[in-house]
Amino acid sequence: MGTVRLTRAIEFSASLRYCRSDLSEADNERLFGAAAARHGHNYRLEVTLRGEPDPMTGMVIDLKELEQVLDREVMARFDHRDLNTDTPYFEKRAPTPENFALVIRRLLLDALPDGTLDRIRLQPESTLWVEIVEPEDAP
């Protein structure tokens, strides 16, 4: 049949500041500029899965299952939270879109059936987004 890709989008809101706990306030401000001050974003996350549709159900994945994974791994952890203080991921690295996307990718790779994640696209602002595309031969 061939590979089909499906994309599910979710939106959530969080506060954050770019800072690393191993640096002084002054060093954080020097390194990260205005983003070292606490601010917030409405994030849009698009998650694309790939696979052969099951011959019987016609689905790559049951969307209910995908929604549960996104609720548990993304919404419950990050929506209406402060990324620096309410999550364990941004102690030593700043919650830049790049680092945040890498964290979400890791969580989704661990939660989704092997080989189904195709890409994620994380958009914190209308003029900026980050994509991580999994290699075709990913196990």
Question: In the numeric block, which tokens belong to residue 27?
Answer: 């060093």
Question: Per-residue x/- mask for another protein, residues 32 to 71, rule CB under 8 A?
Answer: xx--------------------------------------
> Ramachandran region of residue 2, left (φ > 0), alpha (ψ -120 to 50) or beta?
left
Beta-bridge partners for 13:
42
Question: Per-residue x/- mask for another protein, residues 5 to 24, rule CB under 8 A?
Answer: -------------x------
115 part of the interface to another protein, by CB under 8 A: no
User: Least distance (Å) from another protein to the CB of residue 57?
Assistant: 28
93 part of the interface to another protein, by CB under 8 A: yes
Measure Cα distances from 42 to 21, 58, 63, 123 in Å.
24, 34, 23, 8
101 part of the interface to another protein, by CB under 8 A: yes
